[in-house]
Amino acid sequence: MIAGVLAALAAAEWLRGGGNAAAWAWVAAVAGLAAVALATRRPYRPLVVAAALSSLALGVVLVKGAVVVGRIQCCWPAFREARVTSASRALQSTLATAMLQARRLAERGATAALLPREAAFAELARATASGPIGIERGVVIIEPNGTLFAWAGRHREVPAPDSAPELRAVITPFYAVLEARRQTPIGVAVGTVLLSAAPAMPDQDQTVGAAFERAHGVGLQFFSPGFGPRDERVFDICPAGCEHGDTLLSVLTISPAQGDAKLTALAGTSSSAGLVLALTLVLLLAAAAPGAGRWGVLLAGAWALLRASPIVGISGISPSIDLPGLFSPATFYRPVVGVTGASAGTLMVLGILVLVAASVLWRRGLQRRAWMWSAAFFLVLAAPYLVRYFGRGIAPPAGGVSMGLWLSWQGALAVTAMALILLAAALVRGSTEPSHVPWSLPAACAWAGVAAVSGLWLWSPYGAWPEWYTFLWLPALGGVILPAPRRWALPGIAVVAGTAAALITWGAAVEGRLQLAERDAQRLGREGDALSVALLERLGQQISARAQPHTAGDLYALWVGSPLVAEDYPAVLQLWDAGGRSIAELPLATLDLPQAVPAAFAASRSTAGGEGGPRIEPVEWVPGVHYVLVVPFAGGDVLTVVVGPRTRLLPPDRTARFLRGDPGVEPPYTITRSLPDPSSANSAGARLTWRRIGWAARGERRVDLPEGARHVHVRVDLRGPWALLVRGSLVVLLDVALLTGVWVFALVVAEGWRPRVPAVLAALR
């Protein structure tokens, strides 16, 4: 058992990263071997053997990953050559399978064309559901006039209604799609398989190229026949041999750079090791003896979670099992002693650990001492301040807050509050459990509800709550820790702690939205944005190093690879010819800057002939300073990129909304501006002035603009009281279930309790 725990701890250190990662991998492997050797001795225990084998598997996964990383570091040319050679052998088989899938879909579509339309839809849905998992495909039946008769799956482009050739590849700057056709009595059936998609496109990992790269570590780039580069790594793919010149497409095999290959190997090993580590900890917990043995495994598991958390750049134990924002310091950061509160997940892990210890003390029944009352009083007094302190670490993202992210914050704060209150209750409970429910318990729950409802009305944009409001919670906290029967005490503690946590989470989330709104308003006016200038300079260098764009698709391909995308800058890209006429345009935001401004920069003398290189021109406009990147090309064409200030006053264009998709979250605030007042120039306000009006927080700032000062109005919706009460009630019920689950888990750890169905049903009733 100790060897298995050592393997788990070594795995956590490996996941954490660092210069000794390979050494930790070998430590885990040796510990796993020792665990197997000790577990196979008499007497034979299946759970112990299973835990030992899982520990050994964990060590094998880590050592295999360390060996691969070592080969990449020391023997990269040979490693790359071996990988490319192996991938080249598998390329023809992979694409042959894709052709077979496209033909099968087309044949199923031809069969479905004989059915009534409703039945055809069902048949096509069954056809797309069968096949390799993780590969995007579709099928459609097209009538001769172009009308779609029936379809299923996903289609990145509309297939043409023609009938030849039987198999072809459609290559665009964003997609590579394999199409197979079959004639039907009502037109043509087309089966499609997605070969590749540009990185900016949604779900680009569900392609043949992405699956091939995951399996072989080599990327694929597809070209139309004859358009691929002259390189020995380019392969011509034909349906049945290339003797007759019927090349379907050309494929370039792309080996990643050494650094990218190392990161990919580390990420793959971390994902696999994280899952095996979780399984190992569960098996170790089940195999350990109740009491000290399981406590040791529990502490080791908590340490592993804390060490492998994203405070060191790893998204939880495994990126595939990370909850929304649970282990992200970007949305929650309030560290204590370097670890506690570094994310909502780390705070929840330590809170659950304290909660388990408090539940064990509760069941043990300590003899009351004078110091216990003092300690309980200190915990009750510190609980609201500590929970409020951690609540200030909540940082809502600019795109909005999802329900999963909000629940992760509330759960972390609720667990922290419940741990402190239950620990205080365990200190004053005494050695025997009372048989009756004291009046203080329901009174404390009612008082907590009144305090929470009062907090909704007392909250203000400045200072949130008055200082005396914290003491309003002390009667509820004090009443709930008094001795009471377990079946009543636990829900009471969960109700009081969950109510306080829900209120603090709501207030912290609102305060974060106020900060986002204030930063938005500060970007307006004549101050300018140095960051956008630096990022535009980098974009100009990237454009100059690439081939000249010609279409709106080429412009989007340039934009998605720029550093301004991550910062969500509003932009309009436009390509001009030598005569000043627009060739291609890509509007990604609704900018107020007239089109004549970038046209004038494109037609200026300093731009003519492609001399001078890229330059950036600032333009003072509404609602803030705009920057125009001008990139001339040798043929006389000019590219202009207009970037406005980052504000919700400049909403994304419908093209951008289509390309990005629906964010699925509510905007954190709304912002508007008044009409200009030319008589009040140079009267800009330094910051927003906030005030609460009903169930909304409103901010105002005067901004100096070329046409006169304007008032900028920001509104943060607080929701109505009924909506907040309903959400709070549902969240408190979840907190009751959470405390119940931790209580049962503590029973398993300390006493080896096993669930009995009648008892569980009685408890649920």
pLDDT tens for 431-461 read 888 888 889 999 999 999 999 999 999 999 9
Distance of alpha carbon 510 from the chain centroid: 21
Q: pLDDT at position 663, please?
A: 66
CA distance 60 to 35: 13
Q: pLDDT at position 166, please?
A: 86
Helix (H, G, I), strand (E, B), or coil: what is residue 322? coil
Contact present, 445 and 476 (Cβ < 8 Å): yes
Instruction: Name the pLDDT band for 111 (thresholds 50, 70, 90).
Output: very high
Q: pLDDT at position 32, please?
A: 80
Alpha carbon of 216 to those of 43, 74, 86, 318, 585: distances in Å? 44, 20, 8, 21, 39
Angle between helices 721-751 and 440-458 (to 10 degrees): 140
Q: pLDDT at position 86, please?
A: 87
Please give the average per-residue pLDDT across 252-278, as a whole number.
84
Running DSSP on this structure, what letter comes out for residue 661? -
Instruction: Choose among 73, 20, 29: nearest CA to 265.
Output: 73
Dihedral sign, CA of 467, 469, 471, 477? negative
Alpha carbon of 530 to those of 9, 20, 276, 363, 364: distances in Å? 46, 40, 47, 61, 62
Instruction: Name the pLDDT band for 651 (thresholds 50, 70, 90).
Output: confident
CA distance 295 to 290: 8
Instruction: Name the pLDDT band for 322 (thresholds 50, 70, 90).
Output: very low
Q: pLDDT at position 647, please?
A: 92
Alpha carbon of 23 to those of 18, 70, 442, 705: distances in Å? 10, 12, 56, 61
Q: Residue 726 has which token pair?
A: 């309903």
Pick the most confident of 37-46, 321-330, 497-506, 599-608.
497-506
What DSSP letter does each residue of 158-191 carry, written as one string? PPPS----SEEEEE-SSEEEEEEEEEETTEEEEE
Q: Which residues contact 760 (CB under 8 A, 6 or more apart)?
A: none
Contact present, 464 and 511 (Cβ < 8 Å): yes
pLDDT tens for 152-189 read 998 888 888 776 688 888 988 788 999 999 999 888 99
CA distance 405 to 448: 25
Q: Residue 500 has which token pair?
A: 């306080």
> Does pLDDT of 315 surpass 50?
no
Dihedral sign, CA of 221, 225, 228, 231? positive
Higher pLDDT: 196 or 307? It is: 196
Helix (H, G, I), strand (E, B), or coil: what is residue 147? coil
Instruction: Name the pLDDT band for 617 (thresholds 50, 70, 90).
Output: very high
Alpha carbon of 276 to those of 59, 288, 304, 339, 548: distances in Å? 10, 18, 13, 24, 49
Instruction: Name the pLDDT band for 368 (thresholds 50, 70, 90).
Output: confident
pLDDT tens for 115-152 read 999 999 999 999 998 878 889 999 999 988 888 999 99
> Does pLDDT of 20 surpass 90?
no
Residue appearing with tokens 């107020």: 592
Q: Which residues contact 646 (CB under 8 A, 6 or more apart)?
A: 520, 523, 529, 532, 567, 568, 569, 570
Q: pLDDT at position 157, please?
A: 83
Running DSSP on this structure, what letter comes out for residue 402? -
Q: pLDDT at position 240, please?
A: 65
Q: For the whole model, what pTM was predicted?
A: 0.81
Q: Residue 435 has which token pair?
A: 């048989």
Instruction: Name the pLDDT band for 313 (thresholds 50, 70, 90).
Output: very low
pLDDT tens for 60-109 read 988 888 888 888 888 888 888 888 888 888 988 899 999 999 999 999 99
Instruction: Name the pLDDT band for 200 (thresholds 50, 70, 90).
Output: low
For residue 711, list its beta bridge partners: 702
Instruction: Name the pLDDT band for 501 (thresholds 50, 70, 90).
Output: very high
How, if at all, do strands 571-576 and 615-620 pair?
A: unpaired
Q: Which residues contact 112 (CB under 8 A, 6 or more apart)?
A: 119, 120, 123, 124, 127, 141, 150, 189
Helix (H, G, I), strand (E, B), or coil: what is residue 711? strand
**Average per-residue pLDDT for the chain:** 85
623: preceding bond cis by omega (within 30 degrees):
yes
Residue appearing with tokens 């998609």: 197
Instruction: Choose among 746, 693, 714: nearest CA to 647.
Output: 714
User: What is the four-CA torsion angle of 372, 377, 380, 386, rounded to 10 degrees?
Assistant: -100
> Does pLDDT of 359 surpass 80?
yes
Residue appearing with tokens 């409103």: 698
Q: Is 27 exposed, middle or buried (0-12, 13-18, 19+ CB in 10 A)?
A: buried
Residue appearing with tokens 């820790």: 481
For residue 168, list its beta bridge partners: 179
CA distance 151 to 163: 17
CA distance 460 to 672: 22
Angle between helices 76-112 and 46-74 (to 10 degrees): 110
CA distance 473 to 499: 11
